[in-house]
Structures are given as C-alpha cells and as structure tokens.
Amino acid sequence: MSRTRTIFFVIIGLALMAILIGVAVFLLLGPSQSGPPDVSKGDSEPVQVVIVAALSVEPWVTEAARQFNAELHTLEGHPIQVTVVAMDGLAAMGRYEREEMDPFPTAWIPDSRYLVELVNATYKTKLGRDVFLTDGEYRARPVAISLFAWGIYESRASVLEQAYGETNWLSIHDAAIAPGGWREIGGSGEWGYFKLIVPHPRKNIGGLAAMVSAAGEYYDKSAISVDDVTDPDFQVWLKELMGSVSDYSSLGSYPGENLALFGYSAGDGGQLLESDLLINMAGSMKRWEPLRILYPKYVTWFDFPFTVWIGPETTALEKNAALEFERYLLSAEVQARAVGYGLRPVSGQIDVDQPGSPFVEWQANGVTPIVERTTAMRNPDREVLLALLRWFDLNIAQ
C-alpha cells in the first residue's frame, strides 16, 4: 500500500472517530447543550389569570383586561393573560361553597365585601383556615363603587310625587296596591297598575338587596334580622309589594337594560344599581322617556372588592399576576374609564364630574355626584339572605 493511500485512510479514520465522539457528546448532554433554547417552555409560558366579576362591573373589567393583555404585561419573565368571567355575586358564592368553580378563579370581584366574608366563613369551617384575607397584600380591596337608587319614568315619578310626596318603599307599596291603579293615584288609566322593577333574586343579587332595602324602610332601621323578615305582618306587606312585578323571568339578570329596551311593559320604575341606570339612560330616553333618579333614605352600597384566592388551587405566580391586574384596575387611567360605565371610582384622584361623565350628563334627571345620604344599610348575614330567598321561592317565584 502506498504512503498516499495510508495517509488517506488515516484521515478517514480520524474523521469517523470525530463524528462518533460528537454523537456521544450529543447523547450525553442533550439537545439543549448543542442548539438554541426551547422557547415554548420555561419563562416564556404565559401565566393565566381567571377573574370572576360581578355583572355590573364585568364590562369595565373585561375592557381593562383586553387593554392589559394588549400591553403585554409580564411577571418574572412570564406574559400575563387575564380572562374575565361574568357571574352574579350570589351565584358565585354558591359555586364556591359547592366547590363547583371550573376553571377555578384566581380572583373574584363580587358585588359586595360581605359575600367574600360569607364564603370565607364557610371554608374556614371546612378547612380551619382563611381562603380570602382581610389584610396584607392579598386582602380584598374595592376597585369601584355603586349604590342602589330609584329609577322611575319621569311621567310616573311626577304623579307619585304629587300623590305621596317622597318616593320610598312605603309609597311604592301604596301605589302597587291601589285598586284603581294609576287612575286612582292621579295618572292615566292607560298606564294600568303600577309595575315594580326588581331583579330576580336568584339571578341577580340586586333582587335580595331590594328586599333588604324595603325591610329597612318598613322598620325604619338600617340593620335587618331574621325575626324582622319572618314577621307575618311584614311578609304580607312584602308580598303585596313584590307581587307588583309584572314578570321576574323577563327582567332576568339585567333589569336596567330590559327597562331601556322594553319600556313600560317591563315596569314603571324600581330600585336598581345606579351604574345600571346610568348606562341605560340614553336608551330609555331614545325609546321611551327620561328616567328620574332618586336616592333612598338608607343607602345600599356595593364596593366590588378585588379578592385573591389564597388556597393551593392557584400558584403563587398566578396570585401575584392577579395583583398586577388589580394594580392596573386601580391606576388613574383605568379608574377614570370606570366613570364612563356609571361606576364611582375608589381613587381619590378621580372625580365623577369629569367631561363626558354620565354623572354630569344626567344631573338634570336627579343624578348626584356626591350623595348626601349618610345612613347606610348594614350588610345582611347568611341567615337573613336564606330566609328572604326561601320566602321568595314560596311566595313570589315564577
């Protein structure tokens, strides 16, 4: 064999040896050591945040989430993706307590703080620990405010004022039971009988709030007990009042929207959330007539607390990502947008009488930027809520 051929085979042998060594290194160290990182795993995975929001704040929260996601917020290198689910506070409370939440929410924005307290009390009995906190960075914090107010068609409100003076649950009850209907009260016979608007208590917590508010004015006090709501005389009075609702099923979960859409057939007026009345005022004026807004003696406040679940069902990263979105909702820009949805901001930097605000646009209809009523209805306990729901199911439900 010539020297040239010997050198050739030596080179081929060395090349084969190098290839074998390379394969061995590849197998031992893995592909991550010999190529670019896998961007589909690790820090680039999005952290999913699911927010269950009360019906009245859901449109604002959903719009904020859309903008938040578009701005590509991150936490520890993870993009944050927020999903908002609309759910009435009472329905959410039931799902939490029956352990039926699916997917499990990272945070909850119910209508009122007392719903959080009721759910937490249930889980504390079951587990011996809190699932929602009242202090620290994960505490429940209001992100917007609204209150219950009377919304009554202007023509009807004028007649009620002339007949009874102040509009309240007592005068509304008297109007509801007038044998001659509107003709007897001083209105047009074509209006028929007075028709109250109250949300369905099983579909909207506003229905329960309305009954609690009515009880407060009946007894002229701000705290209602089970003895109060089970009193036979009160129950007769309440049945006469609630019986004037034309059709609970048609009002459903969004009574303010249905009032604006269906007008007098839906009802003549009722006590609804101020934000619902404000966002539907324009629709009511275009199709029917203006609503007059009046504020009750005992004010029922809704504080929409952002409440982070602290149990093991969600990760620490998800909890902290929820806090990032909470801070976003509390930012001046997003709080200012809440005003456009008829909500009162919790930020002291934002005034409701800003340009384009519904609180300014509808002041002539009775909307008050600063509510001077100082007596607030106290939140009912679980026993009062259950007693009212049971009474409604037995006496009114359709």
Per-residue model confidence as pLDDT tens digits over 194-241? 999 888 888 888 888 999 999 999 999 999 999 999 999 999 999 999
pLDDT band at residue 250 using 50, 70 and 90 as cut-offs:
low
pLDDT band at residue 16 using 50, 70 and 90 as cut-offs:
very low
Residue 236: the pLDDT is 94
pLDDT band at residue 136 using 50, 70 and 90 as cut-offs:
confident
Residue 248: the pLDDT is 67
pLDDT band at residue 26 using 50, 70 and 90 as cut-offs:
very low
Give percent of the chain with pLDDT exceeding 70: 87
Q: What is the distance of C-alpha 359 from the center of its chain?
A: 20
Prior bond of 110 cis (ω within 30°): no
Instruction: Give me the mean pLDDT over the 102-121 stretch.
Output: 92
pLDDT band at residue 57 using 50, 70 and 90 as cut-offs:
very high
**In sequence order, which residues have a C-beta less than 8 Å from that of residue 185 and are 6 or more positions away?**
159, 160, 163, 175, 178, 194
Instruction: Give me the mean pLDDT over the 20-34 stretch.
Output: 40
Would strands 269-273 and 305-308 be described as parallel, antiparallel, or unpaired? unpaired
Query: 380 in helix, strand or coil?
Result: coil
Measured between alpha carbons, how far is residue 44 from residues 36, 245, 318, 325 in Å?
Answer: 14, 54, 14, 19
Residue 351: the pLDDT is 86
Distance CA 92, CA 100 (A): 9
Angle, CA 199 vertex, CA 143 and CA 50 arms, to 5°: 40
**In sequence order, which residues have a C-beta less than 8 Å from that of residue 77 and are 6 or more positions away?**
43, 44
Mean residue pLDDT of the chain comes to 85
Distance CA 183, CA 275 (A): 32
* Lowest pLDDT segment from 1-10, 186-195, 311-320: 1-10
Burial class of 286 by CB neighbour count within 10 A (0 to 12, 13 to 18, 19+): exposed
Residue 175: the pLDDT is 93
Predicted confidence (pLDDT) per residue in 160-175, tens digit:
999 998 889 999 999 9
Predicted confidence (pLDDT) per residue in 324-370, tens digit:
999 999 999 999 999 999 999 998 888 888 888 999 999 999 998 88
Residue of higher predicted confidence among 369 and 110: 110
Residue 42: the pLDDT is 43
Is the pLDDT at 21 greater than 70? The verdict is no
CATH architecture for segment(s) 146-302+363-395: 3-Layer(aba) Sandwich (3.40)
- pTM more than 0.85: no
Residue 376's CB is within 10 A of a number of other CB atoms, namely 13
Is the pLDDT at 278 greater than 50? The verdict is yes
**DSSP bridge partners of 75:** 78
Residue of higher predicted confidence among 3 and 102: 102
Q: What is the DSSP letter of 264?
A: G
Instruction: Give me the mean pLDDT over the 168-191 stretch.
Output: 92
pLDDT band at residue 251 using 50, 70 and 90 as cut-offs:
low
Q: How many residues does the chain have?
A: 398
Angle between helices 58-70 and 316-329 (to 10 degrees): 110
Instruction: Give me the mean pLDDT over the 60-73 stretch.
Output: 96
Residue of higher predicted confidence among 36 and 178: 178
Domain 45-144+303-330: homologous superfamily in CATH: Periplasmic binding protein-like II (3.40.190.10)
Distance CA 156, CA 175 (A): 11
Burial class of 232 by CB neighbour count within 10 A (0 to 12, 13 to 18, 19+): exposed
Nearest residue to 321 via CA among 68, 37, 22: 68
Residue of higher predicted confidence among 375 and 124: 124
Structure tokens at 22: 């390379």
Nearest residue to 368 via CA among 340, 344, 333: 344
Angle, CA 176 vertex, CA 174 and CA 179 arms, to 5°: 85
- Torsion angle of C-alpha atoms 128, 130, 134, 139, degrees rounded to 10: 160
Query: 166 in helix, strand or coil?
Result: coil
What's the longest Cα–Cα distance across the chain? 128
Query: 270 in helix, strand or coil?
Result: strand
Residue 24: the pLDDT is 43
Residue 343: the pLDDT is 95
Angle between helices 58-70 and 332-340 (to 10 degrees): 140
Could you tell me where in the chain the CATH 3.40.190.10 domains are found?
Answer: 45-144+303-330, 146-302+363-395
